[in-house]
Amino acid sequence: MSIESADTPAVAFSDGPANHRDDGLAQRIIAAYAIADREFAGHGRSMWQQIAARADDLHQLLLTGDEAAVSTALRNPHTTDLLAGFDHLTRRSYRVSQGNDSGRAAGAMLSAKLVCIASAAAAVRLPYPETKRPRPIPGIEELLAALDGRFGFVVDFPNPYPFEWGLKTSRGIASYRALQSLYQAWRLSELCAGRQGGRILEIGAGLGRTAYYARRFGLDDYTIVDLPLANAAQAHFLGSVIGPAAVSLVGEAAAGKAIRLRGARFIDETEEDFDIVLNVDSLTEMDRQVAESYFAFAAQHARYFLSVNHEHNPFTFIEVARTRPGSRASSRFPYWMREGYLEELVDFGGAAEPSLATEAVASAYFRRALAEQREKMRRVESELADTTNRAAAAHRILASRSATFAHWLGLLRRKAR
């Protein structure tokens, strides 16, 4: 099922697994969904009211409790709109992709995203466009091998569902969302550098792909807070790729290092602290009061808030941050992986020492730069002192010679008389 081009990377559809690893998941998801739906306070003034309406048939199916039908729907998200708003595998996008011959453009775009990840992580050199002799861009497998070496594990792309569309690799189909999540998990690992198993809270986690990759980076204390339908999708995806026992659903006790899937009430009830609160592409889509409540929680219970959002919606992340006195983005720069998006980090401080790998690099850089400037100043001062000494010596010699000249000139004038 590949769409290939002679000069661009191949894109393909996934076939889905030969054997599903979701035994017992449908029953657990149905039970968790009933609890989550009862606790759900509504969307408020949010665009998600309309997005969720597209999946109302699945909402009703989950409430009926038909385990076989729910299992079939969860295994085939291309037949529903369960993932609408946070992943591309929906019935609408499936219909479009079946009649869309855009393999060349898609392959180029997705391979460029992979280059962005590898460049950001310093696994390969950043391409330089302002030259007539550009370096060759590594191939897909070469880029993945470079990331393996940089990350310390073999990068893979689990495809538990059929018809997922993306780059064809030896490690699975690399979809657009999977590549985004790989980058985001790497950023979390950078922020948690030096902290064994950093504690992460992700608000609005899509299909849960970032949680999957964060686990590969060793960040195995991971909690997701999301809407009921999103929690259902995350439960099935994560349960299918890392095992049903590795996820804890709404209403279930967390066992060991299971990824916890929770509803919005978790924020109101917990007293736990986290290293990082993460939100990608959803905070500014929420009811503003809800967004501010999430930020207020982070300010009290986390060291960092990492946001990846655009600024086209009615309010922005930085405007939410300004509602908390003293809060400001300690870094703000264009997001590597998606044009028009910003990556913003708020550091709430606290007793813990900063663990940013980028802080360490920056600190070392500025120490070196300061030392170099001091050495330059020392050399300049030394040269200036030498110049001053030479000028003084020259002045003394000139004065001496002037006195000698005046003496002989006086003698000559007396003889001339």
pLDDT in tens, 171-229: 999 999 999 999 999 999 999 986 666 899 999 999 999 999 999 999 999 999 999 99
Query: What predicted TM-score, i.e. pTM, was given to this entire model?
Result: 0.81
Domain definitions of the chain by residue range = 2-347, 356-417
Q: Which of 270, 317, 313 is nearest to 292 (CA)?
A: 317
pLDDT (0 to 100) of residue 103 = 67
pLDDT in tens, 53-99: 999 999 999 999 999 999 999 999 999 999 999 998 988 775 556 55
Nearest CA-CA partner of 32 in 229, 184, 280: 229
Q: CA 114, 116, 121 angle in degrees (round to 5)? A: 100
So what CATH class is 2-347? alpha beta
Tens of pLDDT, residue by residue, the chain (417 residues): 443 434 568 889 999 887 888 989 999 999 999 999 999 988 888 888 899 999 999 999 999 999 999 999 999 999 999 999 999 898 877 555 655 555 678 889 999 999 999 999 999 999 999 999 999 999 999 999 999 999 999 999 999 999 999 999 999 999 999 999 999 999 999 999 866 668 999 999 999 999 999 999 999 999 999 999 999 999 999 999 999 999 999 999 988 899 999 999 999 999 999 999 999 999 999 999 999 999 999 999 999 999 999 999 999 999 999 999 888 788 999 999 999 999 999 999 853 333 343 444 444 444 555 555 666 566 656 666 666 666 666 667 766 766 676 777 777 777 766
Contact present, 67 and 76 (Cβ < 8 Å): no
Tokens of 406: 């005046």
| In contact, 16 and 162? CB cutoff 8 Å | yes
Question: What pLDDT, on the 0 to 100 scale, is given for residue 358?
Answer: 41
**Predicted pLDDT of residue 143:** 97
The residues, any chain, with a CB within 8 Å of residue 241's CB and separated by 6 or more, are: 21, 158, 160, 212
